Amino acid sequence: MRAFAEIWERVVSLVHGARTDREMNEEFRLHLEMETKKHIDAGMSLRDAQREARLRFGSVDRVAEEVRDARGVRPLEDLWRDLRLATRALRKRPGYAAAFVVTLGLGIGANTAMFSVIDGVLLTPLPHWGSDQLVYLRHAAPLVGVDNALFSVPEIVELRDRTTLLDEVAELSTMTFTVLGLDEPRLVRSGIVTGNYFDVMGLRPELGRTFTAGDDGATATPVMLLGYDFWGQVFGFDSTVVGRTFQMNGRSVEVVGVLTPAPPYPERTDIFVNMASSPHHLAATMTDDWTHRMTEVFARLPPDTPLGTVAWLPKSPRSQRPCGAGIRKPTTRTRATISPSPGCRTSSPVAPAPRCGFFLAPAPSCCSSPAPTWPTSR
């Protein structure tokens, strides 16, 4: 209770500081008058009595400062006094005041921007669980001058069949679709993904569910997952949107969930849909053409697999194609770069490859320096 009483006294003293100072000065005056009268009664003259009273009482200013310190609000009073003095000085020089305000604003803005970047890149953890095992794949065909190629579906099938380095492989391709059933027809940037995509990426839903293996295949029901920002911009964070149906590509597509907030990678997408929602992804051009490369590939490494590891790929027992099969000659000498994704923190050296293989290396899209390139041989 006593602590609260002291805090209350300090607050009152700060708010009514001027009145408190007047009362204190009045009390000092009464003490000096009483001491002066005492010396006059002892036979001193008025001047000598006043001098003796001041000597015995001490410096009035010093006593006043000691009383203010005892009240515990001296630093706040000094700050308020300095602010008033600075305000009066700035009002006398408006040009200087404007330059001061602009400089201060720019400094605060720059520091805020720098902290926001540092917080987003270095301090705030990514929403992807198990991000240490998450990697982003690209492959290169140096003989035709392609250093950073996407994958075709047949190449991804070969990848799944022939590598033991990766636990899971997921696919993502982006297209723009027209969605009907909103307030007006809207062009929406869409990510077409496999059913295991969100498990591989380590992303969870904010509402509803994500995709599963049951959402793969041409006979699956077309389903849609809304991006968090798109959900807020278009639907105002309305939770009843889950279960609604919209028209897209001549199909009825049901909203099954909303994705948790996550940085867009490798590019912005408003919604995610399964393969059954996109006629293009069910066509032979997409499923059978080795050169139709429009698919991003993400994967998960087994635990404790370091970046820089090389996993050699033997000839496929299914097709006996050499590595890089499906790329027209003379492009059979290819390599694939596996890169941390989407938030790499360190880089690892990668040795030149004497033959076709997968290489774990920093991703050019998220690190300060690009992944190294080198010629490969058969």
Claim to verify: residue 76 and residue 146 sit in the same structural domain = no
d(CA 274, CA 295): 14
Which are the contacts of 249, defined by CB distance < 8 A and separation ≥ 6? Answer: 177, 277, 278, 279
Write phi, then psi, for 179 (nearest 5 degrees).
Answer: -105, 125
Amino acid identity, residue 42?
A
Residue 108 is assigned to a structural domain of this protein: no
Summarize the confidence of residues 7-15 as an average pLDDT.
64
Domain residues for the domain of 13 are 2-92
Claim to verify: residue 141 and residue 273 sit in the same structural domain = yes
Concatenating the DSSP letter of every residue in 37-69 gives: HHHHHTT--HHHHHHHHHHHH--HHHHHHHHHH
Bridge-partner residues for 149, per DSSP? 139
Residue 111 is assigned to a structural domain of this protein: no
Percent of all residues in the chain with a pLDDT value above 70, rounded to a whole number: 71
62-80 burial, b at 16+ Cβ within 10 Å, e below that, comes to: eeeeeebeebebeeeeeee
Residue 62 has pLDDT above 90, yes or no: no
Claim to verify: residue 87 and residue 188 sit in the same structural domain = no
Q: pLDDT category, 100, cuts 50, 70, 90?
A: confident
pLDDT digits (tens, 9 = 90+) for 321-339: 333 333 232 233 334 444 5
Claim to verify: residue 59 and residue 136 sit in the same structural domain = no
d(CA 208, CA 231): 13
Q: pLDDT category, 70, cuts 50, 70, 90?
A: low
Pairing between β-strand 310-312 and β-strand 205-208 as defined by DSSP bridges? unpaired
Beta-strand ranges (E) seen in the chain are 134-141, 146-149, 168-180, 186-193, 205-208, 223-226, 245-248, 251-259, 271-274, 296-300, 310-312, 335-340, 357-360
Between 238 and 325, the higher pLDDT residue:
238
Please provide the average confidence, as pLDDT, over all residues in the chain.
76
Of 160-164, 174-178, 186-190, 240-244, give the lowest mean pLDDT range.
160-164
Claim to verify: residue 47 and residue 164 sit in the same structural domain = no
Claim to verify: residue 136 and residue 88 sit in the same structural domain = no
Rank 90-99, 269-278, 319-328, 334-343 by mean pLDDT and report only the highest: 269-278
In contact, 177 and 196? CB cutoff 8 Å: no
Residue 111 has pLDDT above 70, yes or no: yes
Q: Count CA atoms within 13 Å of residue 91 on its CB side.
A: 6
Residue 194 is assigned to a structural domain of this protein: yes
Q: What integer pLDDT is reported at residue 315 of this predicted model?
A: 40
Distance of CA 280 to the CA centre of its chain: 34
Q: What integer pLDDT is reported at residue 94 of this predicted model?
A: 85
Residue 56 has pLDDT above 70, yes or no: yes
Residue 200 has pLDDT above 90, yes or no: yes
- Residue 145 is encoded by which pair of tokens? 């001058």
Claim to verify: residue 155 and residue 258 sit in the same structural domain = yes
Domain boundary residue, one of 37, 72, 92: 92
Q: What integer pLDDT is reported at residue 69 of this predicted model?
A: 67
Q: What integer pLDDT is reported at residue 15 of this predicted model?
A: 62
pLDDT digits (tens, 9 = 90+) for 130-157: 887 888 888 776 766 777 788 999 989 9
Q: What integer pLDDT is reported at residue 68 of this predicted model?
A: 67
Domain boundary residue, one of 92, 107, 123: 92
Residue 99 is assigned to a structural domain of this protein: no
Residue 369 is assigned to a structural domain of this protein: no
Domain boundary residue, one of 92, 121, 150: 92
Residue 106 is assigned to a structural domain of this protein: no
Q: What integer pLDDT is reported at residue 316 of this predicted model?
A: 42
Claim to verify: residue 253 and residue 178 sit in the same structural domain = yes
Claim to verify: residue 216 and residue 138 sit in the same structural domain = yes
Claim to verify: residue 32 and residue 161 sit in the same structural domain = no
In contact, 342 and 332? CB cutoff 8 Å: no
Claim to verify: residue 324 and residue 277 sit in the same structural domain = yes
Q: What integer pLDDT is reported at residue 374 of this predicted model?
A: 31
Residue 182 is assigned to a structural domain of this protein: yes
Claim to verify: residue 263 and residue 155 sit in the same structural domain = yes
The closest of 360, 345, 357, 215 to 300, measured between CA atoms, is 360
Q: Structural domain tally of the chain?
A: 2
Residue 378 is assigned to a structural domain of this protein: no
d(CA 48, CA 45): 5
